[in-house]
Amino acid sequence: MKRIAESTVRRLSIYLRFLEESENRGLATISSQELARRGGTTSAQVRKDLSFFGSFGKRGLGYSVPELSASLRDILGLRRTWNVIIVGAGKIGTALAQYRGFRQRGFIVSAVYDRDPRKIGTVWESLTVRDVAGIEKDIDAAAPDIAVLAVPGEEAQGIANRLVKAGVKAILSFAPTQIHTPADVTVRSVNMAMELEGLSFALTSRDRNGAEDGLDSASR
Amino acid sequence: MKRIAESTVRRLSIYLRFLEESENRGLATISSQELARRGGTTSAQVRKDLSFFGSFGKRGLGYSVPELSASLRDILGLRRTWNVIIVGAGKIGTALAQYRGFRQRGFIVSAVYDRDPRKIGTVWESLTVRDVAGIEKDIDAAAPDIAVLAVPGEEAQGIANRLVKAGVKAILSFAPTQIHTPADVTVRSVNMAMELEGLSFALTSRDRNGAEDGLDSASR
DNA sequence: CGGAGCTTGTGAATTGATTCACAAATTATG
DNA sequence: CATAATTTGTGAATCAATTCACAAGCTCCG
């Protein structure tokens, strides 16, 4: 099977979000044009993205909203639930553990870990914070699909190594540093510092060059 | 001036993070090779990225750690501080408002807004939550550089429109939906759902294709 | 001080992603 | 039922990003 670009997968997510919204509003069909408008891209891009996975539309008519929704959920692997653990019960970890959106989309947080004895044992919404020291044993037993890494930068790589050794194959990292893993482990990372610096760069170079005529309108 | 790719700017951030770490450890010089290893890229990529902005190294020796650090901070616009407001005092907004990393890197959170009367007036770390109804007046007076959007998806576009109309030129959005703005406003967005779905896709297609031989090692 | 050993900076080549453009399929209309 | 109006799916063309590869410059050592 052909390798799918990450940019394509990101856009599929965006299309799905909008399709679900359209589904709720009772729309029956939608064109690549409209999907593109809302996703901040072009209709050719939408069709190309979908074409990697099959042929979902009807010429002259567009796509059936519920059918395309279902297909995208299928492609993205969202027909099942995923077992997620969160490592790090600091500001971010706490916010994530309580974030409703996770469960809503089938990502079930089954455990939260920290190393701070003052945090271990505390309970949020039916989840007890566990000691990170025992995480390998837990991973062995529960085989979580995804680990969310919400620990300070200095500790991130060390914890990642332990997670990988214990068998975790997917990591969502919030650490401000780059995480290295073997090729069979997928890492996505959210780096706030990087995003802010991207904005800082944009604001600065705009000033430096005098009202740049750039033409980006939708984000990323 | 040539347009700089977003991917280049993202990498500059990564290089800077590692340079600062090296600076703290007292390293004097560093090669593109080493920078690449830690940034999960190649030495040619590092040199190309830097070449867009000038010539910072010494052949045969590498880059001076403090000099390159300073140059990158300069390029990224980090020699000054930036005035940041946070809109939405929910889980994410709260976590962000208290996040030390912001201030550390020169992003000063000057105000937090919400529309919930129960939240308006509450205080965290010397910041009082203000009524979002009056945000236009505040923006007029304080001219914040960056607005962090941490409101529910349904409200995000509406608030973004108000921010833009009031003069905000840079937005960091945490909304799960795409935000549209005029070309002169830069938007970066962090979309948790998208990241999780990316992992779900990777895990699923790995299974579907039977232990894919992909060769990604560092994240994004 | 001369040669060996590195490492940068950068055009050229390659690889990858996006956009174009159009035939084919479908619906709507009179 | 024929014609006009849409809209998909997809090779080909273009545009963008990455990698290659090597001359040029610097350091170090004997």
Measured between CB atoms, does B189 come within 8 Å of chain A? yes
Mean pLDDT of the region B183-195: 96
Same domain, A58 and A103: no
Does the pLDDT value for residue A140 go beyond 60?
A: yes
Look up the protein residue whose alpha carbon has the minimum distance to the C1' of C25. Answer: A59
Closest approach of B215 to chain A, Cα-based (Å)? 5
To the nearest whole Å, the CA of B133 is away from the closest chain A CA by: 25
Domain boundary among B58, B75, B92: B75
Q: Residue B62 — very low, low, confident or very high, per pLDDT cuts 50/70/90?
A: very high
Quickly state the pLDDT bin for A207 (edges 50, 70, 90).
Answer: confident
Q: Please report which confidence band the pLDDT of residue B215 belongs to, taking 50, 70 and 90 as the band edges.
A: very low
H helices within A143-191, ranges in order?
153-166
CATH number at residue A13: 1.10.10.10
- Residue A109 CA to residue A100 CA, distance in Å, equals 10
Whole-number average pLDDT of chain B: 93
Q: Are residues B99 and B71 in the same domain?
A: no
Residue A215 reports pLDDT greater than 60: no
Say what the pLDDT of residue A210 is.
Answer: 58
**What is the mean pLDDT of the segment spanning B143-171?**
97
pLDDT in tens, B4-35: 999 999 999 999 999 999 999 999 999 999 99
The pLDDT value recorded for residue B208 is 79
Tens digit of each residue's pLDDT (9 = 90 or more) over B125-142: 889 999 999 999 999 999
Nearest residue of A to residue B200, measured between CA atoms:
A77
Is 50 exceeded by the pLDDT of residue B219? no
Nucleotide whose C1' lies closest to the alpha carbon of residue B45? D18
Mean pLDDT of the A85-96 span = 94
Same domain, B51 and B146: no
DSSP string, A110-146: EEEEES-TTTTT-EETTEEEEEGGGHHHHHHHH--SE
Q: Examine the domain organization and report whether B93 and B190 are in the same domain.
A: yes
Predicted pLDDT of residue B99: 86
B39 and B94 together in one domain: no
Q: Is residue A125 part of a domain?
A: yes
Give domain status of residue B151, yes or no. yes
Q: What is the mean pLDDT of residues A2-15?
A: 96
Which nucleotide's C1' atom has the smallest distance to the CA of B10?
A: D17
Does residue B219 form part of some domain? Answer: no
| pLDDT score, position B148 | 98
- Four-residue CA torsion sign, B1, B19, B35, B81: negative
Looking at the fold, whether A134 and A160 belong to one and the same domain comes out as: yes
Query: Would you call B193 and A77 a contact, using CB atoms and an 8 Å cutoff?
Result: no
Residues B106 and B42 in one domain: no
Q: CATH number of the domain at A119, please.
A: 3.40.50.720
Output residues with Cβ under 7 Å from nucleic strand D: A 31-33, 43-44, 47-48, 50-51, 55-63; B 5-8, 41-42, 44-45, 47-48, 58-61
* Residue range of the domain that includes B90: 82-194
Is residue B41 located within the same domain as residue B56?
yes
Residue B202 lies in a domain: no
The count of domains in chain A is 2
What would the pLDDT profile of B29-61 be if each residue is shown by its tens digit?
A: 999 999 999 999 999 999 999 999 999 999 999
User: Hey, are the CB atoms on B172 and A145 less than 8 Å from each other?
Assistant: no
Euclidean distance between CA atoms A142 and B102, whole angstroms? 36
Instruction: Write out pLDDT tens, residues A41-70.
Output: 999 999 999 999 999 999 999 999 999 999
B200–A12 CB contact, under 8 Å: no
CB atoms within 10 A of CB B116: 13
Do residue A16 and residue B199 have CB atoms under 8 angstroms apart? no
Domain termination site, one of B56, B75, B94:
B75
Q: How far is B182 from chain A (nearest CA, A)?
A: 6
**Residues B60-89, mean pLDDT to the nearest whole number:** 97
Chain A residues with CB-CB distance to B182 below 8 A: 217
For residues B43 and B68, the answer to whether their CB atoms sit within 8 Å is: no
Q: Name the percent of chain A lying above pLDDT 70.
A: 95
Residue B95 domain-assigned (yes or no) = yes
One domain for residues B66 and B165:
no
Share of chain B above pLDDT 70, in %: 95
The minimum CA-CA distance between A56 and chain B, rounded to whole Å, is 19
Q: Protein footprint on strand D: which nucleotides are under 7 Å from a CB?
A: 5-11, 16-21, 24-27
What average pLDDT does this structure show over A78-88? 98
Give domain status of residue B118, yes or no: yes
| Of A86 and A216, the one with more pLDDT | A86
Same domain, A65 and A110: no
Query: Is the residue at B212 inside a domain?
Result: no
Q: What is the pLDDT of residue A87?
A: 98
Residues A37 and A102 in one domain: no
Domain membership flag for residue B186:
yes
Q: Is B40 helix (H, G, I), strand (E, B) or coil?
A: coil
Select from A82, A176, A196 the Cβ nearest to the Cβ of B172.
A196
Radius of gyration of chain B (CA): 20
In chain A, % of residues over pLDDT 90 = 88
Q: Is the Cβ of A10 closer than 8 Å to some Cβ of chain B?
A: yes
Q: B65 and B151: one domain?
A: no
pLDDT of A43: 98
